[in-house]
Chains A and B, each alone.
Chain A
Amino acid sequence: MPALWSMIQANLKMSVRNRTALFWNLAFPAIFILIFGAVFGRDAGVSFTVGIAGEASALRDGTVAAMEAADAFAVEQGDAAAELAELEDGERDVVLVFGPAGADGRPAIDLAYDETDGPNARIAVAATRQVLLGVAGGETPLAIAERAVTSTEVSFMDFFVPGILAMSLMNSGVIGLSTAFVIYRERGILRRIKVTPFPLWAFILARVASQLLVAVAQSLILIVLARLLFDLHLRGNPILILAVILLGALAFLAIGFAISGFARNAETAASYANLVTFPMLFLSGVFFAVDSAPAWLQPITRLLPLRYLVDALREPMTRGRGIAEIWPDLLVLAATFVVAMAVAVRFFRWDARGA
């Protein structure tokens, strides 16, 4: 036990002094948060700029009045072609072009939005629709505008930070551990440990324990950063979130450990690790919801462990969900850990030569 503690302490010392690992584990996700936060996450009450053009009508006047009364909209009126050009320049979130009155006395409406704007555009369209339906149905526009604000209360940061947490846990586990163990083996460190009374399994346990401590510290730092700078809302049970962080870290550490058994040297370990992590980074809902991926990709995303970690972090953190909702995710992560660990133990080599 004192031997294990000596090794954990030494590992922590080494983690803090390893600048490259510090960058990838901490600075890299922090930069993501800063950049994405600066672009999308400025305020929780999102404001949309709506361009209104076309034929004059009661509906158009009502819409303009309703939007101007609500905080969530800034209204610009002008010529249809000019407004659409502004939309293409990114100066408008939505453009409404009112046509001439139809048979029922109501004008047809063209709603244009920028599809490259991602989730932001979807929210803008939904909010605009609410207003239009409200005005057409004769309800109080103000009440509808309030509902639109409610739907955007999950800020971009609330959505984004759990994804980035999952990403950094994956990277430090898969990339960090796989290369570390291959280097230990290449340099004869595993062999050196093997000629001391300190068992190899304890050496591995010490490394895993210190990586878990680093993972928790890393998650806390990222959460505090997002909270201080971008007003991240934290919901959900902190104990549950901590447990998810630990389970997720374990699952990805096991994958990294398994990779180290196959890789011949540190370079191949790094490329195998990238091969595993890179697709997951984009197909697991870190940056955008998996639901918005094309249908043919959906079954593939279901095979990726990161998707379940993202989900298990995001559901409690953004929506305050509990274990009753995320237990299937936790089950998949636990299964990932067990399978990857079995593969790792089966292919483990303490010596470059095998034998």
Chain B
Amino acid sequence: MPASALVRPAADSRLPTPDQPVIEARGLVKRYGGAVAVDGVDLVVAEGEIFGILGPNGAGKTTTLEMVEGLRAPDAGTIRVAGFDAVADPASVRRVIGVQLQTTALFDYLSAAELISLFGGLYGAPTPPARADELLALVGLTEKRASRVDQLSGGQQQRLSIALALVNRPRVVFLDEPTTGLDPQARRALWATVRGVRDGGATVVLTTHYMEEAETLCDRIAIMDRGRVIALDTPAALIRNLGMAATVRAHVGGDTLPAAALAALPGVTTIVPTDDPTALRLQTSDAQATLVGLLALAEAHRVSLTDLASAQATLEDVFLALAGRTYEQDEQDEPAADSHRPPAKRGRRR
């Protein structure tokens, strides 16, 4: 299995601890009934970074976030957020964090500006109108200041939720799947907002199950699967460490190609299992050599190759290498967006 080729980060072999960790979580465990939702997670987040927690639905991302936010007590482990103990003193943590939840969690019958004022009130004093305008501008909702929540689109509601997470000028902002359910354009607008939040001086921790989002938006990523962190690094380093440059894909017409011959092609590191028997997917350290060899092999076996393509390695390949299965398989198997459901039935899929 290619996973052996990669360094699976154990607790002591992880990245050097960032100089000024704003979040430091060690050995987090959370069980629901008999199921283990989070199984020994360590996270260290540096001040001022955009930190992503990536993983398929049910990987334990939301539960991890909830423990760091002080919303749920871990069954084991320690958490410090901005110098406060999130387990013993969640009240202090709440003052210095801002949270956007997966569900929209907005009151009906209030306008965007009224909601911002109200949330300021919950921290002690209603948000002054000037500050509310500033927040609305940051999330691109200046024109919607007087609109009621139910008149906003899904993307606008998400961005309003982010504005609400900023009313107390938090040191850490948590965004739980901020772009789920948004169209590509709204997603890009939200990325810009997230960068704006970071540039405003806050550390951002977000969860996502979109590979592309993690790759383009995050400074560092923890990849979670089945309650564990299986990799933690910058997106570039994760891909580099994979020891592969690209994926070669094709559809095979006529006969099938022998697996042994495919594995022996120059540069091939892995034959990726696919659901479609005619689909071929090879991970390679040398795309050119592999392509040349593959074409010769197809010629020799008199099979036709269609949709031949080579693509640069992505986080998706990293997940595949580490988790031993493709990311899409998970996403298809688990259409429910309920990513914090305890992973009770997962064994079946191994």
Residue B286 CB within 8 A of the other chain:
no
Query: Does A192 contact B105, Cβ atoms closer than 8 Å?
Result: yes
The contact of A14 among B32, B97, B108, by CB within 8 Å, is B108
Contact partners of B293 in chain A: CB under 8 A: none
> Does A150 reach chain B (CB closer than 8 Å)?
no
User: Scoring B residues 138 to 174 as 1 if CB is less than 8 Å from chain A, else 0, what string do you get?
Assistant: 0000000000000000000000000000001000000
A335 at the interface (CB under 8 A from B): no
Assembled-state Cα–Cα distance A17/B72 (Å): 34
- Is A197 engaged at the interface, CB distance under 8 Å to the other chain? yes
User: 0/1 per residue, A332-355, Cβ < 8 Å to B?
Assistant: 000000000000000000000101
Considering the complex, give the chain B residue whose CB is closest to the CB of A196: B122
- Decide if B271 is an interface residue (CB 8 Å cutoff): no
Return A265 CB to nearest CB of chain B, in Å: 13
Segment of A5-13, A64-72, A303-311 in the binding face: A5-13
B interface secondary structure, majority = loop
Residues from chain A with a CB closer than 8 A to the CB of B71 are 191, 194-195
Instruction: Specify which of B105, B108, B126 lies most central, judged by the most chain A CB atoms within 10 Å of its CB.
Output: B105
Which residue of chain A lies nearest to B33 when distances are taken between CB atoms in the complex? A355
- Contact count band on A: 20 to 34
A206→B86 CA distance, assembly (Å)? 27
Please tell me if B101 contacts chain A, counting CB pairs below 8 Å. yes
A196 pairs with B119, CB closer than 8 A: yes
Asked if A189 lies at the interface with its beta carbon under 8 angstroms from chain B, I say yes
CB distance from B135 to the nearest CB of A (A): 16
Beyond A188-B101, A195-B94, A355-B32, whether A6 also contacts B107 by CB under 8 A is no
Report the tally of A-B residue pairs with Cβ distances under 8 A. Answer: 78
A181 → B minimal CB distance (Å): 13
> In the complex the two chains form, is A195's CB within 8 Å of B70's CB?
yes
Contact with A along B309-320 (1 / 0, CB 8 A): 000000000000
Contact of A189 among B105, B121, B123 (CB under 8 A): B105
Residue A18, interface by CB 8 Å = yes
Assembly CA distance A355 to B120 (angstroms)? 29
Those of A157-200 within 8 Å (CB) of chain B? 187-189, 191-198
Residue of A13, A193, A353, A355 touching B114 (CB-CB under 8 A): A13
State the CA gap A193–B105 with chains docked (Å): 9
Total B residues in contact with A, Cβ cutoff 8 Å: 33
Decide if B252 is an interface residue (CB 8 Å cutoff). no
Chain A proximity of B150: nearest CB distance (Å): 11
Interface positions of B from 118 to 138, Cβ below 8 Å from A: 118-126
- Cβ A3 vs Cβ B107 within 8 A: no
Distance in Å from the Cβ of B114 to the closest Cβ of chain A? 7
Distance in Å from the Cβ of A194 to the closest Cβ of chain B?
A: 6
Q: A188-B103, A195-B99, A196-B94 are in contact. Are A13 and B110 (CB under 8 A)?
A: yes
User: Is A2 interfacial (CB 8 A cutoff)?
Assistant: yes
- Nearest to B98 among chain A residues (CB) is A195
Query: Which chain B residue lies CB-closest to A18?
Result: B109
A6-42 CB contact bits vs B (8 Å, 1 = yes)? 1100100110011000000000000000000000000
Chain A residues in 8 Å Cβ range of B108: 14, 18
Q: Is the CB of B121 within 8 A of A6?
A: yes
Contact A2 B124 (CB under 8 A): yes
Question: Which of A2, A188, A198 contacts B105 (CB under 8 A)?
Answer: A188
Top 5 closest pairs, chain A to chain B, by CB? A6-B121, A188-B103, A192-B105, A188-B105, A198-B122
Would you list 28 pairs from A and B whose C-beta atoms are within 8 A, ordered by A residue?
A: A2-B124, A2-B125, A3-B123, A6-B117, A6-B121, A6-B126, A7-B121, A7-B122, A10-B121, A13-B110, A14-B108, A14-B109, A14-B110, A18-B109, A187-B103, A188-B101, A188-B102, A188-B103, A188-B105, A191-B101, A191-B103, A192-B101, A192-B105, A194-B71, A195-B70, A195-B71, A196-B119, A197-B124
| B interface residue numbers (CB < 8 A to A) | 32, 69-72, 91, 94-95, 97, 99, 101-110, 114, 117-126, 168, 340
